[in-house]
Amino acid sequence: MWGIVWGVVGRLFSLPSADKVLGRVLDTIDNNKNAELDEKKLYAQAVEHYISRVFERRSDAMGWTIWWVGWSLFALPLGLWWCHVLLDTAFSFSWQVDDLPDSVRPWANEVFYSIFGSGVGGAALQSITGTIKGR
């Protein structure tokens, strides 16, 4: 009933049909969603490019011997302390192992995460890219 009324009123006042109006509304919604999707794709590409550049810079820096010397100056003392803690925990030696001071703990966490985080991150990245490439 309303369709007939709308059709008659539309013809009298030269209004577009309900199908055309609905089609335009749906096209507008689709275009809006496509624009949002394109924006998200562009953002994802920018993030991917940034991450790949960071990994390239780190890989280039890790190729220099001086980088490893500097890194070892920070990582080796922490590694020795960690071995000391593990040995004392496993074998209950008589020596006392002190906890890291609060001023050193953030530094130690960064060194620890750089050791294990880079290895885990690299392995995860290789796994993901291998899966994407189908290997």
* Interval 35-57: pLDDT, tens: 787 888 888 888 888 888 888 88
CA of 119: how far to CAs of 71, 107, 126, in Å?
15, 19, 11
DSSP codes joined into one string, 43-83: HHHHHHHHHHHHHHHHHHHHTSHHHHHHHHHHHHHHHHHHH
Same domain, 92 and 71: yes
Same domain, 100 and 71: yes
Range of the domain at 94: 65-135
pLDDT at position 76 is: 86
- Any idea which residue has 């993030």 for tokens? 47
78 in any annotated domain: yes
Q: What's the predicted TM-score (pTM) here?
A: 0.41
Q: What Rg do the C-alpha atoms of the chain give, in angstroms? A: 31
Same domain, 57 and 73: no
- Any idea which residue has 């008659």 for tokens? 8
Same domain, 75 and 133: yes
What is the number of structural domains in the chain? 2
Name the band, by pLDDT with cuts 50, 70 and 90, for residue 79. confident
